[in-house]
Structure 1
C-alpha cells in the first residue's frame, strides 16, 4: 500500500518535470538563422567542377565542367536561373538544386 501511495504522488511530479523540459526549446533569432542558411549554400561564381559535382544532385563531371566553362565564357552568374542556359540542365534539375545554390 505504501508503494502505491508513493507512486501516485511521484508520477505527476515526474510527468510535470518531463513536460517542462520538453517544452523548453532554444530560441534562435530569424536573422541569425538566415545568415547560417545562406553560408551553407554553394556559390556558383566560386565553386569548382569537383565541388559542383559532389554537392549537387544530378550533376556529374560533364555538367559540372559545363557550368564552369559557361561561367568562364560569359562571366559571373547573376542568377541561379542562368543555369538553364547550359545544355543538359533543365528546369527539373535546377529546381532539385535551387535551395543549395546562391550567386554573390
Structure 2
C-alpha cells in the first residue's frame, strides 16, 4: 500500500513539473500552446495563424500587438504560466518553481 501511495505521489510530482515547462511561442505546436494555463484551443489556433501569416514573434510587444485577446495583463499571466517569446519570459515575470518532493522520504513517512 505504501509503495502504491509513493508511486502515485511521484507521478503527481512529475506531472506538475511538466506543467511548468517553458513553451516558446515561436516553436510550439497547438498541443504545447494549449498546455499553457490561459491558452485554449481557440487562442492556440489564433497564435499559430498569426505566426504563419506574419512570421515569428519578435518580442512580447509584437506578440501582444498581433494576437487578439493578449494584452499586458494577459501576457503577464501567460509568461508566469511558462510561455516565452524567443525563449524569454516577459520582463518582470518569473515562472513559478515546481514544488519538489523526495519520493523516497514520502515512501518511508508512514
Q: For this structure pair, what is the TM-score category when the shorter chain's length is used for normalisation?
A: 0.5 to 0.7
Q: Distance in 2 between matches of 1:78 and 1:45?
A: 9
Higher helix share: 1
Q: Distance in 2 between matches of 1:81 and 1:93?
A: 12
Cα offsets for 1:42-77 (capped at 9, x unmatched): 1111101111011x2211100011001110000111
Q: For residue 98 of structure 1, report the CA deviation from its aligned partner.
A: 1.8
Paired position in structure 2 for 1:74: 54
Conserved in 2, the CA contact under 8 Å of 1:49 and 1:61? yes
- Say if 2:86 is the partner of 1:103: yes
Q: Distance in 2 between matches of 1:73 and 1:80?
A: 17
Q: For residue 78 of structure 1, report the CA deviation from its aligned partner.
A: 1.1
Q: How does 1:41-80 map to 2 (within 5 A)?
A: 41-54=22-35, 56-80=36-60
TM-score normalised to the size of structure 1?
0.54
Distance 1:89 1:79, change over 3 A: same
TM-score normalised to the size of structure 2?
0.52
Aligned residue-pair number: 64
Gaps of 5+ in 1: 1-39
Gaps of 5+ in 2: 1-20, 88-110
